[in-house]
Structure 1
Amino acid sequence: MGLSERDICTKLITPAVVAAGWDVNAQLREEVTLTDGRVIVRGKLSTRGRQLRADYVLYHRPNVPLAVIEAKDGSHSPSAGLQQALGYGEMLDVPFVFSSNGSRFVFHDKTSQGALEREIEMSEFPSPAELWRKFQVWKGLDEPASQIVEQGYYAAPDGKAPRYYQATAVNRAVAAVANGQDRILLVMATGTGKTYTAFQIIWRLWKARAKKRILFLADRNILVDQTKSNDFAPFGGAMTKIANRQVDKSYEIYLALYQAVSGTTDEQDIYKQFSPDFFDLIIVDECHRGSAAADSAWRDILAYYSSATQIGMTATPKETAEVSSTDYFGEPLYTYSLRQGIEDGFLAPYKVIRYDLDLDLIGYRPHVGDVDRYGHAVEDRIYGQSDVDTKVVFDPRTKLVAAKVTEFLKGNDRFGKTIVFCEDTEHADRMRKELANANADLVADNYRYVVRMTGDDAAGAAELDNFIDPFSSHPVIATTSKLLTTGVDVKTCKLIVLDQRIQSMTEFKQIIGRGTRIDEANGKRFFTIMDFKRATELFADPAFDGDPVQIFEPPLGADLEELESTIESDQVAASADEQLTDSSRPRKYYIDGVEVEVAARRVQYLDAEGKLITEALSAYVKRKLQDKYLTLGNFLARWTEADRKQAILAEVEELGIPLDALREEAPNGAGYDTFDLVCHIAFDRPLLTRRERAARVRDRQPFGAYSERARTVLYALLDKYADDDGATLESGKILHLKPFDQIGTPVEIIKRVFGGKDQYQAAVRELETQIYAEA
């Protein structure tokens, strides 16, 4: 009963596991960190939430886990850690889960044909061979398949290892291939390492000689180049990139841009220079494009190599009435969502600043006979938000957007990498000009501060490598239309600006993915989305972070190729309809003399589950706090009992409540304690300012038992509280500030004035008790 959890592990659990035959160096790891801890945004700063750590993970081979053990101290029952361990087991995709307090194990066995859970003695812990045999049967692995599954991962010299979800994706894919599955779909959110996951899948299958010639297909040249020089570099001389329409059949690993191996004629279809059975494994990056009619060349290539195992990887599986990823590849073998990535702390959370402009909301209608800047008669109709920058152009609107973007950058980080998504290349050019004018000081220092990056601008596109390089300071702002929507890894991107109407959920997810990467080394943990076209309404769509849903149902007996051909013809016809048939009419009208103002501004944040809070913030906070604490009395009791008030505030933030946002939304919010704001919003308690609370403490004169110098310190702390948030009282750093430096050094104040650290902390707790005495 007297043993701590660590004692239980060291003295009882580890010896029992080792006695069962587990290699303590190769098969057993303790305190395995599974997540980085959710990023909690606090104003312009951020902190990390709690990391998830498994007490023990047992492995058959490195990165091939078999079991999880959760330990509890002697005051708990043997099963007390089972619920927690089952959660870890699900994350690691293992069938064997154990809980123990050092007296017995509780064994949860998903492979069991009998009792799912049972207690076993410490001496009865199963051996590695026993669990591996059960695992083989559970996965349906015969001996040849087992040999493939047992092939090791690539061991990087720098010690880089896959994250838990990457290992799960790799292990499932390798096991599926070993069992003969030839069409596989992996869905992983942008920024979660799809290419690294693909590399480890290829490496293990290639090393096991289960797959000898492999083709990796992507749709952007920069993706192929990044892959070859980064994640796939260990393949060395066995790898080549198919370029300049040249084919060399002496390699084993081939990387290709699908446009580089396909075309509109047999002569241009370079892939046909390989025999249909040349490749035995094909991995398609961003495979959601592969099922689209407009990109049917993907399907032509896959159909040609139909005998090969084909793995599709995407962040955004396409499921519409016309196009389906799952129809071709099957249901996802594994899905790791944006929401899960944010919750685990591997992806950056975001806040949304949405601007509604009066011109967009009201619309524009010309007067009869109006002409635009170039003398073209403006067609008489109402132009709404969908027409802005596609049919009608208002320079004051572009200037206002540029001003708001610049205002944000000046208030946060003027060198924070920013992507501005515009309607088309012409709009991107106008936005570049207005942003350059709004940031004339920095553009004068370096003209590359703002660059247009579009497919038709060779000079701008040439700056792409510099833009994505974390060590390159310029360009800072990129204006674009489509070039940066997918695949480009801009780790340091801190601001995404949407001045583009986005109707496609796939495109929206890809665009948001440009900001979700975390780059701790360069101070990037979260990012901001600034929306001028109401594109972020798509966050409320269940499809934004839901699992793919099969809704593609081709007509009974329909030929898929024929159906795709019909869809493609319809798209071409629709595109032709958009072109103006009268060459004398302009594609866009440029309207002068129109004023544009901000009609509304709204800031939105993520909740604890990684979803955007779309209801009023006060309503959300009230609901979450009442769910947690039920009544004001419960919250006050929790607050009063806590040794550190900051711990309660952290607990509130773990619910997904942005405390700084509460202060920003409240009238004169800077004058209120966070405690008061929470009590007021959640439980309708009257507000008191920090100054009012401090004045009440002074009126009571409660510190008569302390020495004069101690009272001086306590009242100085009270003054600091009145001017700042009360949580700073608990930080010893406050004693480094004025006026404490006139009383003595922090060490002198704590030791000589209060008699020691414990006495000082007790005095601070008493001060806090007095501050909240009438709460």
Structure 2
Amino acid sequence: MTPEAQARQVIDERLRAAGWQVQDYAQLNLSAAPGVAVREYPTDTGPADYVLFVNREAVGVIEAKRDEAGEQLVVTESQTERYAHSRLKWRANSLPLPFLFEATGQLTRFTDGRDPAPRSREVFSFFRPETLGAWAAQPATLRRRLRDAMPPLASRNLRDCQTAAVTGLEQSLAANRPRALIHMATGAGKTFTAITAVYRLLKFAGARRILFLVDTRNLGKQAHQEFMAYTPPDDGRTFTELYNVQRVGSAGVDRHAQVCISTIQRMYAALSGEALDESAEDIPAADVARAVKPGRVVGYAAELPIETFDFVVIDECHRSIYNLWKQVLDYFDAFLIGLSATPDKRTYGFFSENVVAEYSYEDSVADGVNVGYDVWEIVTDITRQGAELKAREWVDHRDRQTRKKRWAETEDDTAYTGKDLDRSVVNPSQIRHVLQAMKTAVETKLFPGRREMPKTLIFAKTDSHADDIVQAVREIYGQGNAFCRKVTYSEKQADAVLTAFRNDYAPRIAVTVDMIATGTDVKPLEVLLFMRDVRSRGYYEQMKGRGVRSLDANGLRKVSASADGAKTRFILIDAVGVEKSLKTESRSLEQKPGVPLKDLLHAVALNQRDDDTLLTLANRLVRLDKQLEGKARARIEKASGGIPVRELGKALLHALDPDAIAQAALATARAQGISRSEDTLLPDEIRATREARVAAACAPFDAPELREQIEHARREREQLIDHVNLDTVAFSGFGAQAEDEARRTVQAFADFAKAHKDELAALSFFYQQPYQRRALTVEAIQELAEAIARPPLMLTTDRLWAAYARVQAAQVKGTGLQRQLTDLVALLRFALGLDAELKPFADTVNQRFADWIWRHNGRRATAFTPEQTEWLRLMKEHIASSCSIARDDFDYAELAARGGLQKAWGLFGEELDGLMAGMNEELVA
């Protein structure tokens, strides 16, 4: 059999599976079935491989190729289109056939010729005859309706971020982009946003059926509840009164349902023939995939044809679209809409980087949608160092699954680390000390005015570990069973416990492994205790997201009666170093927890505007806004010139937005006629833009009356905190336990400088000054940067600066700023004891420039003119980024744009070389 014949055999099988009867032209019988595929049908341009008839009317054409031609199918489109426009023998109608297919035995592509700008797409198999018949009868295709029939969005009951998300999605769909990603912070209302979009697609775009795909049964239940509660802005009825919403179960998809909610595990089972273990729907799909037998692939399912859904909304898409589960998404011919708070690179890649909405955690905090968080660390000696059990010691040996114990001697010396805890070794004392430290911190420092334990969620390593924690919590707090409950997949009453945890007084503390680590809404949560490490950045962000939900005062008091106002923050208690084991995408806005608000306000007024200071002030203002009453709020707004306190905080956050800074810098450069892209923006341009944005955001705080009103409002809400020393814990408090590592980093750099002082020009410059002050160049600094980046140091300027900030915080300035290469000069001077404080190299250059120009103006017969001063400033900026300036440097960047060496010589004449030499010597050394 030839390759072409083999391909046609597979095509015939696929057509029959989709409900078509395949006939040769010589045996044509159009009344034999509703859908007939006729092979080798004659046209006026030659025989078409297949012509498709529905109810005796020709509707489409298939161009068949051998399997090896799969990569050439796009080239074949013109041939298919030729047949579609040809006159079919014995056909009275001369209109082009609307439905065009190209197929091999492995690959099928489809084009709807009636779409605006018809574009082919890969499909899993062929559509059923009744589907093509229904499409042919419609006056406009789905893609045309998406472009032309969607009215403006009514934004009532929608947050700005939700309006932006729905609008961006509809613009993407109108452009016929098959995949779209909505990235919205946890708590921002992704499901509500998705339901709004689903409602509009059903009502205005005429969508037939939409699949809402989740990866656990619990998330499906939550989604169904939200559909039932949703009331559209243009109709008084609920969504489920208007449309049939089905939670897909063992009976399969209801043909009368417009929205089907299903786990991806159930869809995979239906399409692959794999028996579904009902319990698999209770576990996140990513975890289930590891246990499923490999090699089971999705095949065509007659009861679920590929056109079953027009759209697939994928909740928590960052964890359910890969590997095994991707087959489900490849199967349906539908637009894919992803929802995620924590997309990673794979997620962006899957959705073709088509991010139709992006709403970050920081944005959500600034808008009051979510609350910020503070990090409290607990470190015990055994957590940090481990311990050792000697041989022949009598200890309990416990079975992991049954928890049955036996009393026996140890056979060998057993040393274990903190990572072994609660896996191969259980140390009850370690668990007790962590929980006791948490109890003490919550009662005396974090929530000192509370009469009840704030709602707390503890993340355990395993189900057995969770059992140990539950028992220890009850003992330490002296409470009964209702006080602390386990919520894991093994718990039969997990759903009831979770509902009580969310809405009732008890339980106060819940212990989980994975079940409520993601996607579960528990708004009253105020404490998260991590007793397990997490390696996945996205998963960690999701776990943190359990605490970010905002809640008004009445809602919080329903479950925590002694709360004195709305939920303004949550506390992340890190007992395993989880904050240091990976880089998280969100960050605590509270960078300076020990600095009073009054000092922050004065610092900003006195031009201390590093990222840490501004982020902390923004967080305090947003938090204060949630606590204020009407009169205090009005007084602050009056003092600020009409700006609400929350907007003051948001302005600080937006001023530091790196994307917005880059765009503003680009706009400024282009307005000046300078060609730039984001990749070619100069550090000086970015810095100047940041400074301008920060200056505008900080301007209101120059007013003493505003600072006084903010401080007065804070004092009205202030609580006394009782500081209690804990003597059973190695460390418990804000800050970083990595101080030892920072000290080692600082010492290693100092040792390196001494050991290589004769080898590297930059080191030699400082060790031998003042005799070689003119020898320092940017090349020498680059050489040093490359040297410290290699083993064994493997240091960057940022990491080294951060180490000094941790070890000698009082002497380090500009911690939050973006580091420049020339900041290595500042690091060297500080390490060698030449400077008493570590601050950005540019700040030192600026200070010395001010002194230098003042002295020169005093010596000259006439002071520098304004134009000369501006040029000297430009030269100073070049020195700040390059360590020196010479005649050749006037060919670069802003100096060249202002006229270069010729202009500078015209302003200074023969004095120019002397000025450059003086600046090189006095501004750098």
TM-score by length of 2: 0.43
> Which of 304, 321, 329 matches 1:274?
304
Counterpart contact for 2:390–2:410, Cα < 8 Å: no
Separation of aligned partners in 1, 2:311 and 2:465: 42
Which of 621, 627, 647 aligns to 2:709? It is: 647
- Partner deviation per Cα, 1:340-397 (whole Å, 9 max, x = no partner): 1112221111111101111122221232444532325265454222111122111111
Structure 1 residue aligned with 2:467: 429
User: 1:625 touches 1:682 (CA, 8 Å); kept in 2?
Assistant: no
User: Given residue 365 of structure 2, which amino acid in structure 1 is its aligned partner?
Assistant: I
5 Å matches for 1:675-690?
none
**Residues 492-526 of structure 1 deviation map (CA, whole Å, 9 limit, x = unaligned):** 11111111111111111011100000110323232
Distance 2:411 2:508 in 1: 37
Aligned pair in 2 of structure 1 residues 203, 650: CA closer, same or farther (>3 Å)? farther
- Equivalent of residue 330 in structure 1, options 337, 352, 375: 352
Q: Percent identity?
A: 22
Q: CA deviation at 1:477?
A: 0.9
Match of 2:244 in 1: 238
* Matching residue within 288, 297, 300 for 2:318: 288
From 245, 255, 259, the counterpart of 1:253 = 259
* Equivalent residue for 2:568, pick from 497, 522, 525: 525
Matches within 5 A, 1:738-749: none
> What amino acid sits opposite 1:530 in the alignment?
I
Q: CA deviation at 1:259?
A: 2.3
Q: CA deviation at 1:299?
A: 1.0
2:531 counterpart of 1:499: yes
Displacement of 1:172 in angstroms is 0.4
2:359 partner amino acid: Y
Which position in structure 1 is the counterpart of 2:589?
A: 611
Q: 1:624 to 1:371 in 2, by over 3 A?
A: farther
**Deviation for aligned residue 1:262:** 2.6
2:211 to 207, 215, 219: 215
- For 2:148, the aligned partner's letter is Q
- Structure 1, gaps ≥5 residues long: 1-141, 546-605, 667-679, 685-775
Q: Distance in 2 between matches of 1:312 and 1:422?
A: 29
Q: Where do residues 80-119 of structure 1 align in structure 2 (5 Å cutoff)?
A: none
Q: Are the aligned partners of 1:212 and 1:280 in contact in 2 as well (CA < 8 Å)?
A: yes
Q: How do residues 748-763 of structure 1 correspond to structure 2 at under 5 angstroms?
A: none
Q: Contact 1:148/1:174 (CA < 8 Å) preserved in 2? A: no
| Pairing 1:159-198 to 2, within 5 Å after superposition | 161-198=157-194
Change over 3 Å in CA distance of 1:360–1:516 after alignment to 2: same
Q: Provide the C-alpha distance between the structure 2 equivalents of 1:461 and 1:204, rounded to a whole number of angstroms.
A: 32
Q: Secondary structure at the match of 2:261?
A: strand
After TM superposition, the structure 1 = structure 2 runs for residues 275-674 of structure 1, keeping only pairs within 5 Å, are 275-293=305-323, 296=324, 298-305=325-332, 307-319=333-345, 324-331=346-353, 332-370=355-393, 372-374=395-397, 375=408, 377=410, 380=413, 382-411=415-444, 412=447, 413=450, 414-440=452-478, 442-443=479-480, 447-469=481-503, 472-520=504-552, 521-522=555-556, 523-537=566-580, 541=583, 543-545=584-586, 611=589, 613=591, 617=594, 626=603, 628-630=605-607, 642-643=704-705, 646-647=708-709, 649=711
Q: Secondary structure in 2 aligned to 1:544?
A: coil
Partner of 2:218, secondary structure, is helix
How far apart are 1:403 and its partner, in Å?
1.9
CA distance in 1, matches of 2:368, 2:165: 18
Amino acid at match of 1:223: L
| CA distance in 1 between partners of 2:152 and 2:418 (Å) | 56
- How far 1:651 moved relative to its partner? 11
Aligned residues: 439
Mapping of 1:140-151 within 5 angstroms? 144-145=145-146, 147-150=148-151
Q: Helix, strand or coil: the match of 1:393?
A: coil
Does the CA contact (< 8 Å) of 2:391 and 2:414 recur in 1?
no
Q: 1:460 to 1:205 in 2, by over 3 A?
A: closer
Task: Output the CA distance in 1 between the equivalents of 2:144 and 2:259.
Answer: 27
Note closer, same or farther for the CA distance 1:630–1:336 as it changes in structure 2 (3 Å cut): closer
CA distance in 2, matches of 1:328, 1:650: 51
- Cα 1:168–1:682 shift into 2, 3 Å: farther
The structural deviation recorded for 1:279 is 0.6
Q: Match of 2:771?
A: none
Amino acid at match of 1:225: K
Distance of 2:382 and 2:189 partners within structure 1: 41
Q: Is the 8 A contact 2:459 2:512 kept in 1?
A: yes
Deviations 1:690-745 (A, max 9, x none): xxxxxxxxxxxxxxxxxxxxxxxxxxxxxxxxxxxxxxxxxxxxxxxxxxxxxxxx
Is the CA contact 1:622–1:681 (under 8 Å) kept in the aligned structure 2?
no
For 2:342, the aligned partner's letter is: T
1:480 Cα offset (Å): 1.1
- CA–CA distance in structure 2, aligned partners of residues 519 and 488 of structure 1: 15
Indicate if the aligned counterparts of 1:496 and 1:528 stay in contact, CA closer than 8 A: yes
Residue 340 of structure 1: SS of its match in structure 2?
helix
Q: Aligned partners of 1:649, 1:355: CA distance in 2, in Å?
A: 31
Specify the SS of the correspondent of 1:291. Answer: coil
Rg larger in 1 or in 2?
2
